[in-house]
Structure 1
Amino acid sequence: MDIELPDGVKFTQYVARMPRCAMTLVINENREVLLMYRHRFIIDQWVWELPGGYVDHAEDVATAAAREVQEETGWRPRTMEHLVTYQPAIGTLDQPQEIYLSRGADLTDTAPDINEAEDTRWFSLDEAMDMIGRGEIIGAATVVAIYRALSLAR
């Protein structure tokens, strides 16, 4: 896209437009969060993160977020409430990210997709914060969700 700044400087701004994403922070009655351990090929690193993915064209965002939890972890969220919407890199990327909060989940007979995660586990919010500090959680959605959950818990 061609841009002209107020001082008259002109340049071409490259923009990547990506589909909307929906993730879910599932938290149980013990204040533990459900995270997935997966390899992210772009950065060639194993990390812990929230379940989530792209929203299909006409799909309701909360429905997509709940679907992703069950497909990727085998847990079905009990509730879905909007937690936060953000854009991860508004300088060059247009990709709305919506995070939902589920208070509790039920284990289903659905086997998690083996291509999605190596492991799925529950961690206390405090442990998740420590994992951010150790670089085990680095994805923006997971970091944002954990900080937001901690702010709500206070």
Structure 2
Amino acid sequence: MNMPRERRKARSTAMKSSTTRSMASEAEEPIRLGRRTELFRGPVITLVEREIEGRAYRVVEHPGASCAVPVTPEGKIVLIRQFRPAIGEWIWEIPAGTLEPGELPEECMAREVVEEIGWEAESLESLGSILTSPGFSNQRIHLFVAHLSRQVGTRHEDTERINVHELDWDEVRRMMECNEIRDGKSLVALHRYESRYGRD
């Protein structure tokens, strides 16, 4: 009896995942985390020193963030052009925001799509999460697809410089391939969206 294609694919993925976990656990030993000393606390990040097995490591702690690939009812992708002071440039991105204290990733994203692109999300679909710079920071960004429902007007903060653009998927994919979209979180989320939905 032939197994349906979807079940074969799911079974193959589960087997590969199990094998990967087994390979990782064989080589990994428990690491004991020691003393944590706070060196600096800012509005968003905190610089701490962590003692791990007798050695000191400086780590940037971050509360986490959310971002989403926003899709309009007509199937267009909403991107933003945002000026980033850290690099002194305007860049293409998807909407994103930092989690507020006690806020869930989904709540953060629902708030940000209203503030940054002026849409309400009918639903949010998880695309997993990424660690942006695990060599020195614990920042985790949660990725979503935001299925948009209606426009309500943007609510940009005074410090934000943002322009909103609705684009066809073919144009977004061209921008990804031509290095016009260089923001890491945006690229990962867009690739995962394409992989899940198989946009042509």
TM range (shorter): 0.7 to 0.9
Structure 1: runs of 5+ lacking an equivalent = 5-9
Q: 1:38, 1:117 within 8 Å by CA — same for their partners in 2? A: yes
Could you tell me which of 63, 76, 88 is aligned with 2:120?
A: 76
C-alpha root-mean-square deviation of aligned residues, in Å? 1.9
Q: Please give the alpha-carbon distance, in whole angstroms, between the structure 2 residues aligned to 1:34 and 1:115.
A: 21
Counterparts of 2:147 and 2:115, CA distance in 1:
18
1:109-148 matched pairs, under 5 angstroms? 110-113=153-156, 115-148=159-192
TM-score, scaled relative to structure 1: 0.85
**Between structures 1 and 2, the one with greater helix share:** 2
Q: Which has the higher contact order (CA 8 A, sep 6+)?
A: 1
In 1, distance between residues paired with 2:58 and 2:159?
Answer: 32
C-alpha distance in 1 between matches for 2:90 and 2:98: 21
Other structure's SS at 2:123 match: coil
* SS of residue matched to 2:58: coil
Q: C-alpha separation between the residues in 2 aligned to 1:90 and 1:147?
A: 21
**Matching of residues 30-109 of structure 1 within 5 Å:** 30-108=74-152
C-alpha deviations, 1:13-58, integer Å up to 9, x for none?
A: 2211111101121113443211111111111111111111111111
Which residue does 2:194 correspond to in 1? 150
Extract unaligned runs of 5+ from structure 2. 1-49
Give the letter aligned to residue 47 of structure 1.
Answer: I
Alpha-carbon distance in structure 1 between the residues aligned to 2:61 and 2:165: 32
CA distance in 2, matches of 1:117, 1:36: 10
1:40-82 Cα distance to aligned partner (Å, 9 max, x none) = 1111111111111111111121011010110111111111121
Corresponding residue number in structure 2 for 1:7: none
Structure 1, 111-120 or 38-47: larger mean CA deviation: 111-120
- Give the structure-2-normalised TM-score: 0.67
The one-letter code sitting in structure 2 at the alignment partner of 1:44 is G
Distance 1:97 1:71, change over 3 A: same
Alignment check: 8 A CA contact 2:117 2:154 kept: yes
Larger Rg: 2
Letter in 1 for 2:132: P
